[in-house]
Amino acid sequence: MTTASTDKIYFDATLRPNRSLSRFGFLLVMGAIALGGIGIGTAFFIAGAWPVAGFCGLEIILVYIAFKVNFREGKRSERLFLSGEGFKIFRTSPKGVETMERLEPTWLSVDLVLNRQSQPRIVIRSHGQEREVGGFLAPFEKVEVAEALQEALGRYRSRV
């Protein structure tokens, strides 16, 4: 039988990279790039500079590959979960592989560390273990997550 203190959820957040381009937007952008590349390539081909047409086609393919890599990276996520049973980090890789790490929340500390480029990092430490979370977030989002997690740890530690 579980008690109310082990069932209580103190923090539950899923972190994902920001992706502002929808599938429809992707189709529009790729259509515009393809039309532009085909138009420029055709004009150079007619003018006698036929190798340029090949480079225009290569440009379209490279932009397409770059978008696909970006979309795949957008599948990455991290879920931070603090309950009466402990603190867990669930990570999903761009390939869809899920992992889970469990850290003891009693000794957990959350630090916002500034590196050389002044980009903050969220570092979670417990029993000599150190984990970085939210590396893909914007700086202001990292500050918000760190503050919310520190507040949740305070509630966890003050429970009766």
Read off the pLDDT of residues 62-100 as tens digits, 9 standing for 90 and up: 999 999 988 888 889 999 999 988 899 999 998 889 999
Residues 124 and 56 in one domain: no
- Print the domain residue range for 87: 4-18+77-157
**Counted domains in the chain:** 2
Nearest by Cα to 153 from 110, 99, 97 = 110
Does residue 104 have a pLDDT over 60? Answer: yes
CA distance 61 to 32: 13
User: Of 54, 73, 92, which residue sits at a domain end?
Assistant: 73
Residues 90 and 151 in one domain: yes
What three-state secondary structure class fits 108?
Answer: coil
Distances from the Cα of 98 to the Cα of 51, 75, 93, angstroms: 46, 11, 7
Q: Is the pTM of this model over 0.85?
A: no
